Amino acid sequence: MKLFLDENISPLHARELRAEGYDALAVVEAGLSGASDERVLEFAVKEDRILVTLDADFANVLRFPAEHTPGLVRLRLHPPTEHAIRDTLRKALLMLKNVELRGRLAIVEPKKIRIRPRFEE
């Protein structure tokens, strides 16, 4: 599972995930600080990476349909503290490790994960 952490998630999480054996890259590390949402998603698709974000815009399936992406994971946390991000992301990755996310949007909350089916399902 190749991950691309959006700008609203600290690059520290990408470093920690790599130390745990995940293939994770942060927007900042890719030189895309300040890039538009469209550009961030374009990079994720080009590099075949699942985009992990706190940005609710990416959960808008009309603006950002997941069908042609490696997958979108929207962390829905209130408040989105560094501890909450770390804890929820680790739990989600364990739960999603055998789930095919290609073309799908996963909404991850501390106690549940909802996965939107692919358009053709």
Residue range 40-88, pLDDT digits in tens? 999 999 999 999 999 999 999 899 999 999 999 999 999 999 999 999 9
Residue 121: pLDDT band with limits 50, 70, 90:
very low
- Look up residue 48 and give its amino acid: D
Class of domain 2-115: alpha beta
CB 69 within 8 A of CB 51: yes
User: Helix, strand, or coil here: 19?
Assistant: helix
